[in-house]
Structure 1
Amino acid sequence: MEKILIVGATGSTGIRIIEILNNSQSFEPVAMIRKEEQKAMFDDMEVKWVLADLEQEDFSAALKGIKKVIFAAGSGGDTGPEKTTEVDEKGAIKIIDAAKKAKVKKFIMLSSMGADEPSKNPDLEHYLKAKAEADKHLRESGLNYTILRPGRLSDDMGTGKVELAPKLGKMGEIPRDDVAFLLIMSLADPLVQNMTFEAIEGEEPIKSAMIELSKS
């Protein structure tokens, strides 16, 4: 089984990713955690963990044996510019560079809709700018990548149905459950390879929507 490092494993979306991957026959999740007290949660789930922080400099231990990375960390739009820059931009860039050095096979980034036009959303501009810089660095890194830019995240139960496009041209929301599934589906090598795409809730089943998008 391929070991998948989940960055942001203790977040709302990260936990969903871990839970799904923990029942996978193909992938083994490894939770990246910041604090000693977070170990118990993953020990209870029988999930491996590594202790690392996005503000540190050396990620070689965290990436040992890792085949792919899902970056689901985020400071959130309510966080101040300084912390956002440290986590969503500088932290992401550092672990992208470390993943390249570790010869990781694929890097999957959870970004945000609007990251291509941060100035259009003044309330979230600092957050979207940080996401945009991280996305740009990933695209230029030489790593195989997928960048997912979902609409507003909700805690509603997932529907398993989405609307996907490189640029949707409209806003919308999407349950975290469905975002987790989209990120996990992106682990499959032929799907959405070296693509950036937006996602909101819709009418098409996730699997067929991903296959169709990959052909575009």
Structure 2
Amino acid sequence: MNVLVIGASGKTGKLVISSLVNSSQHFAKAMIRKAGQIDAMEELGAKPLVGDLEEDFSYVFDEVNAVIFTAGSGSSTGPDKTTAVDEEGAIKAIDFAKEKGLDRFIMLSSMGADTPSIAPNATEHYLKAKGRADQHLLESGLNYTIVRPGALVDGEGTGKIIASPSIPDKSGSITREDVAEVLTACLNETETYHKTFEILNGDTPIDEALKRV
């Protein structure tokens, strides 16, 4: 399967690329914003494609079977950039996927995207943007999966998670490496089709947890 990773140069995006390459079942295409990132993507084993979420990037969807959207504006940018990337960029990606006849679209969202009004002021705008993008995907007709991790941490993955439409205790965290493995596993796990769920590190192996979601 040819999988387009949007946001491939980010921390989680790079780990998704590595997960896809290591799976041997998929060919990774990496959408990056700068030509200077090409070498890094090639070293990871992906085909780099330069595109900007704030411009027309429809051409990167050619010869693609599925999309994993991991892009984000980053914590150092303001609300305008969050809207442009996390909301409008994601919505354009969904629309381009439909136009190109793709079916499978996996969205890396965030825990709290469905309840932004109760979030701290610093994250409310970000979560609203994520939530609007998620809703657009829900209504798109695509075979979607929306993954909403809790607090992301660096470090080696555990390979074990908790996955549920709503996790009661949201105070935990999850490694970016485990998030990447979840996103890759969702490509072929039919129990995740047309599902939205939250994830944190837990006690259940990823494959098993996704079959129960």
TM-score range, shorter chain: over 0.9
In 1, are the aligned partners of 2:189 and 2:210 still within 8 Å (CA)? no
Aligned ranges 1:104-143 → 2 under 5 Å: 104-121=102-119, 122-143=121-142
Q: Report percent identity of matched pairs.
A: 47
Partner residue, 2:200: 200
Q: TM-score, normalised by structure 2?
A: 0.96
Using the alignment, how far apart are the partners of 1:36 and 1:58 within structure 2? 14
| Aligned partner letter, 1:208 | E
Q: Which runs of 4+ in 1 moved over 4 A?
A: none
Alpha-carbon distance change, 205 to 189 in structure 1, aligned in 2, over 3 angstroms = closer
Q: Return the offset for 1:44.
A: 2.5
Bigger drift between 188-197 and 70-79 goes to 70-79
Q: Answer yes or no: is the 8 Å Cα contact 2:17–2:44 preserved in 1.
A: no
Aligned equivalents of 1:53 and 1:191: distance in 2? Answer: 32
Relative to structure 1, the CA distance from residue 77 to residue 45 in structure 2 (aligned partners, 3 Å threshold; closer, same or farther) is closer
> Do the aligned partners of 1:76 and 1:127 also contact (CA within 8 Å) in 2?
no
Aligned partners of 1:13 and 1:37: how far apart in 2?
Answer: 19
Instruction: Give 1:7's aligned residue.
Output: 6
Q: What is the Cα deviation at residue 43 of structure 1?
A: 2.4
Contact 1:77-1:127 within 8 A present in 2 as well: no
**Mapped contact 1:112–1:128 kept (Cα < 8 A):** yes
Q: Deviations over 1:68-114 (max 9, x none)?
A: 00000111345311000000000000010000111112000000000
Give the conservation status (yes or no) of the 8 Å contact 2:29–2:46: yes
Unaligned runs of 5+ in 1: none
Give how far 1:49 is off.
Answer: 1.2
Taking structure 1 as the reference length, what is the TM-score of the superposition?
0.94
Question: Which 5+ residue runs of structure 2 have no aligned equivalent?
Answer: none
Amino acid in the other structure paired with 2:152: L
Alignment-derived partner of residue 178 in structure 2: 178
User: What is the distance in 2 between the residues matched to 1:189 and 1:56?
Assistant: 32
SS at match of 2:184: helix
> Alpha-carbon deviations, 1:175-201, whole Å to 9, x = none?
001000110011005130000000011
Partner Cα separation in structure 2 for residue 78 and residue 112 of structure 1: 17
* Inter-partner Cα distance in structure 1 for 2:135 and 2:173: 24
Is residue 77–residue 124 contact of structure 1 (8 Å, CA) maintained in 2?
Answer: no
Aligned: 1:30 with 2:48: no
Tell me which residue corresponds to 2:89.
91
What is the CA distance between 1:170 and its match in structure 2? 1.9
Count of matched residue positions in the alignment of Structure 1 and Structure 2: 211
CA RMSD after TM alignment: 1.1
Structure 1 position 20, deviation (Å)? 1.5
